[in-house]
Amino acid sequence: MTPTPAGARTGGDLYRADRESEPDPGALRDRAAEAADRAARVAHIEIRELHTLGELADACDLFQRVWQPAPTNPMISPELMTVVAHAGGYVVGTYEGDRLIGAGVGLLSTEGLHSHIAGVDERSRGREVGYALKVHQRAWCLDRGITRVTWTFDPLVGRNAYFNLAKLGAVPAEYLADFYGPMSDAINGDDFSDRLLARWDLTADRVALACSGVPQPVDTDDLAGEVVIGLDAGPDGRPISGRIDGDVVLVAVPRDIEALRRADPSAARGWRLAVREVLGGLMAQGRRVRGFGRDGRYVLDIGPQGHRP
């Protein structure tokens, strides 16, 4: 973990205004490009846009290896990736030498860019390849005048929540119940495909800090106001609902939902429905998610106008 430089702002500042002053677009682009270069060097990779059918087919094969869906239900096709690239979307691969070890695809949208799929080969995980890919995506977008990116992620996967909200500085905007319908791949199994829609404001101070290597987790030991636990794990590992009437509500997720799906599908389904009810319900009532703590819990504040559901 990169240490926080003296004077740097962290998760406690997460809900200051997105920017204290309007940044200079040229300087912002330059700093974003420098951060992307630095992240790629740390991960020992090169990131390139993909164009040829061979490159796109390799990326599709990588996605198939990561998710392992049924052969008749591929994650994405080379033809669709060709269309996305030709239309100006984000289609890139991460390379270690000549070997493709990661890829990402993003569609132009009303928000700016929607990052549809990104994956890293299992043998290359734990090396910050996915982080380097997202920092590159930010630089790529800012270079084209795009200032917002969205994507979805499973709210039950704590490491992804930490990555998206703390390591990247994104903020959940919406809870989407069973968004993709049945998926039945090696990662999702037969679970409901509930997702959080992450919104990444690329010019925000917290995002610039995160992309420069300063994570933005919420310190759940230093929260002001009445803090209550809305959802936690019981002694048997199953979810236990609590209070949701405090100034701050903490919502836990399982330590390893993928292992739990394999070992105890009933418990995993219980967590899905409990998180949908508590986290999804509070977001629908106007609570905002401040972020995610190192202890594996979402932190929700009173709504934007000070409204408590």
With respect to residue 86, please indicate whether it lies within any of the assigned structural domains. Answer: yes
Q: How far is it, in rounded angstroms, from Cα 63 to Cα 218?
A: 32
118 & 36 share domain: yes
Alpha-carbon torsion 76, 79, 85, 89, what sign? negative
70 vs 214, higher pLDDT: 214
94 & 130 share domain: yes
Which pLDDT does position 69 carry in this prediction? 87
Q: How far is it, in rounded angstroms, from Cα 201 to Cα 259?
A: 33
For the record, the structure tokens of 49 come out as: 């846009």
Which pLDDT does position 13 carry in this prediction? 42
Which pLDDT does position 25 carry in this prediction? 86
- Assess whether pLDDT exceeds 90 at residue 150: yes
Which pLDDT does position 9 carry in this prediction? 42
124 & 244 share domain: no
192 & 83 share domain: yes
Which pLDDT does position 73 carry in this prediction? 83
With respect to residue 71, please indicate whether it lies within any of the assigned structural domains. Answer: yes
b/e code 67-95 from CB counts within 10 Å (16+ = b):
bebeeeeebbebebbbebbeeebbbbbbb
For the record, the structure tokens of 68 come out as: 């392992």
The one-letter code for the residue type at 120 is V
- Assess whether pLDDT exceeds 80 at residue 207: yes
CA separation, residue 18 to residues 83, 169, 203, 207, 208 (Å): 34, 11, 8, 9, 10
204 & 235 share domain: no
With respect to residue 306, please indicate whether it lies within any of the assigned structural domains. Answer: no
Residue whose structure tokens are 């819990």: 297
Alpha-carbon torsion 159, 163, 169, 173, what sign? negative
Which pLDDT does position 191 carry in this prediction? 80
Report the range out of 188-197, 221-230, 273-282 with the highest average pLDDT: 273-282
pLDDT band at 304 (very low <50, low <70, confident <90, very high): low
Mean pLDDT, range 216-230, rounded to an integer: 92
63 & 109 share domain: yes
What pTM did the predictor assign? 0.87
- Assess whether pLDDT exceeds 60 at residue 212: yes
Are 272 and 199 in contact by the 8 Å Cβ rule? The answer is no
With respect to residue 242, please indicate whether it lies within any of the assigned structural domains. Answer: yes
- Considering the chain, what is the average pLDDT of its residues? 90
pLDDT band at 189 (very low <50, low <70, confident <90, very high): low
Report the residue count for the chain. Answer: 309
Mean pLDDT, range 281-293, rounded to an integer: 96
Residue 297 φ/ψ region, left for φ over 0, alpha for ψ in the -120 to 50 degree band, beta for the rest: beta
Q: Is 28 helix (H, G, I), strand (E, B) or coil?
A: helix
For the chain, what is the domain count? 2
With respect to residue 197, please indicate whether it lies within any of the assigned structural domains. Answer: yes
Residue whose structure tokens are 């389904």: 269
Task: For residue range 86-102, list pLDDT tens digits in order.
Answer: 999 999 999 999 999 99
45 & 133 share domain: yes
State the CB neighbour count (10 A cutoff) for residue 126.
Answer: 9
For residue 96, what are the β-bridge partners?
99
Which pLDDT does position 70 carry in this prediction? 83
Name the domain boundary from 162, 177, 211: 211
47 & 124 share domain: yes
The one-letter code for the residue type at 13 is D
Which pLDDT does position 167 carry in this prediction? 97
201 & 232 share domain: no
With respect to residue 250, please indicate whether it lies within any of the assigned structural domains. Answer: yes
Out of 45-54, 119-128, 178-187, least confident range: 178-187
With respect to residue 218, please indicate whether it lies within any of the assigned structural domains. Answer: no
114 & 248 share domain: no
177 & 274 share domain: no
Mean pLDDT, range 241-262, rounded to an integer: 95
Contacts of 49-57 with C-beta under 8 Å, sequence gap 24+, read 49/85, 49/91, 49/92, 50/81, 50/85, 50/91, 50/92, 50/93, 50/103, 51/85, 53/78, 53/82, 55/93, 55/100, 56/81, 56/82, 56/85, 56/91
Which pLDDT does position 92 carry in this prediction? 98
> Which domain does 198 fall in, by range?
25-211
Which pLDDT does position 305 carry in this prediction? 45
- Assess whether pLDDT exceeds 60 at residue 217: yes
Task: For residue range 21-61, list pLDDT tens digits in order.
Answer: 566 889 999 999 999 999 999 999 999 999 999 999 999 99
- Assess whether pLDDT exceeds 50 at residue 14: no
What is the domain-level CATH number for residue 51? Answer: 3.40.630.30
Phi and psi, residue 61, nearest 5°? -60, -40
